[in-house]
Amino acid sequence: MVVESSTHKFPSHVFNMLETMEHEQVVFIHDAELGLRGIIGIHDTTLGPALGGCRIWQYASESDALWDVLRLSRGMTYKSSISGINLGGGKAVIMANPDIRRDEKFWRRYGQFVEGLNGRYITAEDVGTSTEVMRHVMKETKYVTGKPVEAGGAGDPSPFTAYGVYLGIKASVKHAYGRDTLGGVKVAVQGVGHVGYYLVERLTREGARVFAADIKPQHLDRVVKEFNAIPVDADEIYDTDADVYAPCALGATVNDDTIQRLKCQIIAGAANNQLADENRHGQWLKEKGILYAPDFLINAGGVINCYRELHQLTENETMQLIEAIYDRTLQVYHLAAEQNVTTHEAAMHIARERIRKAKATHQNTTSL
Ligand code: NAD
């Protein structure tokens, strides 16, 4: 049979991409009637099933969606690894407008696709999805976390993520200034949505001076009113005279343009993939003397909360896992200084080593 080459546009080197990103499996999911078009990325399952949220986003192209799911699922592998939890890295993206509400049927269909992977991928909430969405998903699959509390879940992960980011900021301030408290430290928080809100609460409670920016006026007003945060125009957050820049909105905000503008000593926030180019921008920050707290290390509170839901951990056990972020951040800074590498590279080294050792143990056990 002759298969005619397709005229449809798609990345022509999918397997090269999988090889570069070191993915185990990528699954395309589709239901024409429901308008469901998505991709599930399973990066590495050495440490456990691949867990990661489901993002709904209007991508400019299919290749953008594929690239995003590969990047995000890979990030989840290293996030779980460096956090010491037994999970692999996964993520799902659905190509659609996140502002349109989707009904139970849509999310149950998504749940059926997740169930079909038989536990290799465990879903959760992410940009455009919520604990309410997971309430529908859980009707079709047990491989779901981030369920509402009344449905037996661990609920909104944002306060836990914010707690980890707060500890990452504290460790960074300790390393940069030798200080144990945040009293008087100036922090510029970009994005005061779910995580940013709780972060501002913790920072101000400890006496930090918080500058906040958000493109949604109602989010900005809330932190101004409740915590006396100083409002800053969204475009001007990079130019703020602050000690810490905390990106809690979007990825890739540390880039060619912004690094030249930043006046801070520390970058530590919740957003995933903050460095537009991990290597080049990591190196540039190092040369500029700006301390960068690796995002996947300090924003792991949310995934740790999902882990708690899966393994029925107590509140105390969960908090201990999150509180380890403080020491681990310091450990990364020491390793980076000792090896003369960027903090991102040092964190990646620790995460990869744990996976390498687990693989070696697994191979030794299976060859016995
Ligand atoms: P969110 O959507 O609730 O909040 C993001 C906020 O950023 C919104 O208020 C939005 O209006 C604002 N924003 C968007 N673009 C902006 C811009 N250009 N300038 C200023 N503000 C802008 O999201 P969230 O759950 O708080 O997550 C924040 C970031 O942290 C995301 O990148 C997310 O991927 C990451 N993250 C979140 C969690 C979690 O537990 N929610 C866990 C790990 C990582």
pLDDT band at 148 (very low <50, low <70, confident <90, very high): confident
* Domain termination site, one of 151, 167, 188: 151
Q: Are residues 143 and 174 in the same domain?
A: no
Residue 88 pLDDT exceeds 90: yes
Residue 359 lies in a domain: no
Dump pLDDT digits (tens) for 234-252. Answer: 999 999 999 999 999 989 9
Q: Are residues 29 and 178 in the same domain?
A: no
Residue 8 lies in a domain: no
Give pLDDT, residue 13: 86
Radius of gyration of the chain (CA): 20
Phi/psi region, residue 324 (left: phi>0; alpha: psi -120 to 50; beta: rest), is: alpha
Residue among 161, 192, 216, 238 whose CB has most ligand 1 atoms within 8 A, to mutate: 161
Give pLDDT, residue 152: 85
Dump pLDDT digits (tens) for 44-62. Answer: 999 999 999 999 999 999 9
Residue 1 pLDDT exceeds 50: no
> What pTM was computed for the model?
0.93
How many domains does the chain fold into?
2
Q: Are residues 145 and 189 in the same domain?
A: no
> What's the whole-number mean pLDDT along residues 309-332?
96
Dump pLDDT digits (tens) for 321-356. Answer: 999 999 999 999 999 999 999 999 999 999 999 999
Q: Are residues 127 and 212 in the same domain?
A: no
Residue 80 lies in a domain: no
Residue 155 pLDDT exceeds 90: no
Percent of the chain with pLDDT over 90: 87
Residue 265 pLDDT exceeds 50: yes
Q: What is the C-alpha to C-alpha distance for residues 212 and 153, in angstroms, rounded to an integer? A: 31
Residue 368 lies in a domain: no
Give pLDDT, residue 10: 62
Query: Quick one: which H or E segment has residue 316?
Result: helix 315-339
Q: Which residues line ligand 1 (CB under 6 A)?
A: 127, 157-158, 161, 190-196, 213-216, 219, 234, 248-250, 270-272, 299, 302
Q: Are residues 116 and 43 in the same domain?
A: yes
Q: Are residues 137 and 235 in the same domain?
A: no
Mean pLDDT is lowest, of 22-26, 124-128, 242-246, 292-296, for 124-128
Give pLDDT, residue 368: 43
CATH of the domain at 61: 3.40.50.10860
- Position with higher pLDDT, 155 vs 138: 138
Dump pLDDT digits (tens) for 275-285. Answer: 999 999 999 99
Q: Are residues 295 and 260 in the same domain?
A: yes
Measure CA of the first residue to CA of the last residue in the chain; give whole Å. 45
Q: What is the C-alpha to C-alpha distance for residues 288 and 281, in angstroms, rounded to an integer? A: 10
pLDDT band at 367 (very low <50, low <70, confident <90, very high): very low
Other CB atoms within 10 Å distance of the CB of residue 64: 15
Q: Are residues 144 and 202 in the same domain?
A: no
Other CB atoms within 10 Å distance of the CB of residue 3: 5
Residue 7 pLDDT exceeds 60: no
Residue 244 lies in a domain: yes
Residue among 250, 253, 257, 297 whose CB has most ligand 1 atoms within 8 A, to mutate: 250
Q: Are residues 190 and 301 in the same domain?
A: yes
Query: How far does the centroid of ligand 1 lie from the alpha carbon of residue 214, in Å?
Result: 9
For residue 107, the enclosing domain spans 14-75+87-151
Residue 82 lies in a domain: no
Q: Are residues 300 and 170 in the same domain?
A: yes
CATH of the domain at 239: 3.40.50.720
